[in-house]
Amino acid sequence: MSTDPAGTPPRYPMPRPAGCPFAPPEELLRRSREEPVFPVSLWSGRSPWLVTRYQDVRTVLSDTRFSVHRDLPGFPASSLGQVLRDRIAPTFVGMDDPEHARHRRMLIAEFGVRRIAALRPVVEETVAHLLDEMAARTGPVDLMEALAIPLPSMMICRILGVPYQDHEFIDKHLRIRLDIHSDADTVTRSSNEVEAYFVELIRAREHEPTDDLLGRLARDRVRTGELSRQQAAWTAALLLVAGHATTAHMIGLGTMVLLADPARAALLRDGDESQVATAVEELLRVLTVTHTGRRRVAKVDMELGGVRIRAGEGVIGAAELANRDPDQFPDPQTIDLARTPNHHLALGFGIHQCIGASLARLELQVAYPALLRRFPGLGLAVPAGDIEVVDASVVLASPEIPVTW
């Protein structure tokens, strides 16, 4: 096992150095080159194994010898908030098959490739409307507030059937959920308020069915007894978060990456749909905004990356490091917007791959070129180094990105 000079494993997640927010900490990159699997220390005092090589992380994410059950003693929870939410409002992302598959089948058609592709005109119209409002403003504009946050919020609200006018309530609880430092009282109160909100929406749809995801959950799952109202509410809350936060910060941070190099911005602005789609995959790889790893527990003794892992030990698949594995991605530190193939792990892998991956890709493929075409002179209003990038969050985030044109 590798430890720091004091004899304890390095802390994970590790703060990113100032001025270099888009790359994983060099210390973790160095350790991953020396040891593909090594112990790290968590907020809880646990020391799970950090798995860093691409092929090994794929194994962690797809091998049934690893479990995602959050109530197993060795599960390496990312925060106290995660522990409490899993106790208060457990969802299918913390289940193994066959229970996981049963819940996922209830939702998979809602996020199928064809159904999401049919939403392209809606996404394009929504982006155009937001950019019109942005163009009507003067002075520096916060890109997060103007485009990055409202676009995915509007789209997931539309799919779920959640009133967008409730977005302030949603944003408040989203921030609490993503902050790995949220205290127990705040997390508990927030979880209960969100559950009550969705239970009320679902109860209303039992009496007045609607043609949206909440309406179908109420009609097909709650009224039949397959799910309780609370279970349906927990699932809806999970989808709301998953469909909002990662895409919002991919839009914001991805735009910063593009604006750092005129050639990158030109490719997204002038490229065809195929070129844009390829470029989006590279931005997903480079940023890997869900940067605190995919967490599992070993169910049996095994060897991985030359290390003996015992049953009951926690394991974290570090996708942000796997996505920079030179054995899988030649010259991985270079941002190559034409990179193919690009089988990154930013959206997961295996049975727990992000259910909303097609929606996230669509929103990014529409948002980047539309923004750059509408504002060909777009630039940051402050030096890039002055823009705060928060890594004390489940999602790598920038609260505010001021831009001008």
Token pair in block for residue 305 = 């990356």
- Let me know: does 323 contact 288? Beta carbons within 8 Å: yes
- Let me know: does 34 contact 2? Beta carbons within 8 Å: yes
Token pair in block for residue 350 = 């295996």
Exposure letters 335-346 (e unless 16+ CB within 10 A, then b):
bbbebeebebbb
What is residue 2's predicted lDDT score, i.e. its pLDDT?
Answer: 38
Task: Tell me how crowded residue 150 is: count the other CB atoms within 10 A of its CB.
Answer: 22
Task: Tell me how crowded residue 48 is: count the other CB atoms within 10 A of its CB.
Answer: 26
What is residue 5's predicted lDDT score, i.e. its pLDDT?
Answer: 43
What is residue 390's predicted lDDT score, i.e. its pLDDT?
Answer: 85
DSSP state of 300: S
Q: CB-based contacts of 189: which residues, under 8 Å, 6+ apart? A: none
Per-residue pLDDT of the chain (405 residues; tens, 9 = 90+): 334 444 689 999 988 877 677 888 888 999 999 999 999 999 999 999 999 999 999 999 999 999 999 989 999 999 998 899 889 989 999 999 999 999 999 999 999 999 999 999 999 999 999 999 999 998 899 999 999 999 999 999 999 999 999 988 888 888 888 788 888 999 999 999 999 999 999 999 998 989 999 999 999 999 999 999 999 999 999 998 888 889 999 999 999 999 999 999 999 999 999 999 999 999 999 999 999 999 999 999 999 999 999 999 999 999 999 999 999 999 999 999 999 999 999 999 999 999 999 999 999 999 999 999 999 999 999 999 899 888 777 888 899 999 999
Would you call 66 helix, strand, or coil by DSSP? strand
Strand 141-142 and strand 402-404: the pairing is antiparallel
- Let me know: does 294 contact 57? Beta carbons within 8 Å: yes
Domains of the chain by range and CATH? 26-400 (1.10.630.10)
Alpha carbons 46 and 43: distance in angstroms, whole number: 7
pTM, entire model:
0.94
